[in-house]
Amino acid sequence: MFRNRATKIIATLGPASTSEDVIEALHHAGADVFRLNFSHGSYEDHAARLTSIRRIEERCDHPIGVLLDLQGPKLRVSTFAGGSAELTAGAAFVFDRDPALGDATRVCLPHPEIFAVVSPGDVLLVNDGQLRFKVTATANDRIETEALVSGIISDRKGVNVPSAALPLPALSEKDKKDLAFGLDIGVDWVALSFVQRPEDVEEARALIGGRAKLMAKIEKPSALDCLDEIVALADGIMVARGDLGVELPPEEVPAIQKRIVRQCREAGKPVVVATQMLESMIKSPAPTRAEASDVATAVYDGVDAVMLSAESASGQYPVEAVAMMDRIIQRTEADPLQRTLMNAVATRHDATSTDAIGAAIQSVASVLSVAATITYTTLGATAFRVAHERPDSPILSLTPNRAVARQLALLWGVSSQETADAKSAEDMVEKASAAAKHVGCYQAGKPLIVVAGMPFGTPGSTNLLRVVWPE
């Protein structure tokens, strides 16, 4: 299945998209990668969805990527007598370690890490920032605050502390179990939530052990202080605007999104923009004009993928949401201004043969009208580099490794196919031409650029660029 667009779509699966028929409809509507959100659902649910995806993959004869999104450490208040309490702006409210049921004056906060770092003047956010509390005094087991807004506080609502880097590992015990399960069933990417420091990425990578690609989610302000290091360590980055928008003023999020996307583009790392992209389509068959512009903005910036969350997981119009995102991307990429804006950011080049070949592709394509760029890759590095050159022509990646083919489904412009390594230069040309015809990116009279490494099948040996004129 060759998409008539370069920017990829990630669709989250959930109650509205559990059946195999719906998942297949989502794929045909435009979903390139499916997200399994381990904040919700049972292992049985996720395993069944992945099994369905693999059956659909066989029927479509096209690799489909699967992204496991770990929940990360969740900080929550405890419970209240009656399930909730009403708060008034200006009233005193205490967070303490007492396990007794809460009321309108206090509640248990069972997280000693918060008590260890907050100080007077800090603000605690509850329920995605709908409730705000200014810290007035602290003790070992007591945080005294003033409620800044009126509202209802209820059982188990989440707590954010935007002004402090909490001494919490990015991987909770639940995450470690979820990760082991996901790797066992064969996910292709792992999204690490609430990354705060480079060490979080290193810990997760050690546990993954090369069995999947690692995507770091940027949703904590503290991660921005060491963004360069996190980008360098991760295989990809997700701009997770949900929690990022809770912990930072809304007016700061657009500039931060631009900064993260630019750094990833320059570093040659895949970048995904996520959260609330077509939020109104949870309940409406059409998005707002602002939401359509939000998706288009990410495409103009040259992101690798945009993601749907509740729109496809629990919304009333999951297939329509994917189809709408597909149409917005196609229309935006058809605008000549899109490539001009995207190319305003250039990928940095290292002194390697792979980077030299990637840079040469653009030079060749500027002289010849190329039908497609075809890469032979063992571990995916060649396809990663070529994709982040953002060539004018489609990219077809050929690999003998099915897992790699699935991982590449997330990359900008890449259509991947599992195929045996070429045995000779002539075999390489023959396989490349046949694959281009098979996926639909062959055009009579137009050449193909073929990128490979000699000797064939040797990882990291990209050293060949050949222009092929198919018969």
Tell me phi and psi for residue 132, to 5 degrees: -130, 135
Residue with tokens 């999951």: 318
Give the integer Cα–Cα distance in Å for 416 and 439. 9
For residue 384, the tally of other CB atoms under 10 A from its CB is 24
Give the integer Cα–Cα distance in Å for 433 and 445. 12
Beta bridge partners of 86: 152
CA end-to-end distance (rounded Å), the chain: 23
The catalytic residue positions are 35, 76, 217, 275
Amino acid at residue number 201: V
| H-assigned helices in 317-388 | 318-333, 336-342, 353-367, 381-387
Tokens of 91: 């009233």
Could you tell me how many helices (H) and strands (E) the chain has, helices first?
17, 21
Strands 151-154 and 84-87: antiparallel
Angle between the N-to-C axes of helices 20-29 and 318-333, in degrees from 0 to 180, rounded to the nearest 10: 10
Angstrom distances, CA of residue 467 to CA of 34, 366, 437, 470: 35, 13, 16, 10
Tell me phi and psi for residue 54, to 5 degrees: -70, -35
The CA-based angle 30-36-41, given to 5 degrees, is 130
Tokens of 83: 């399930």
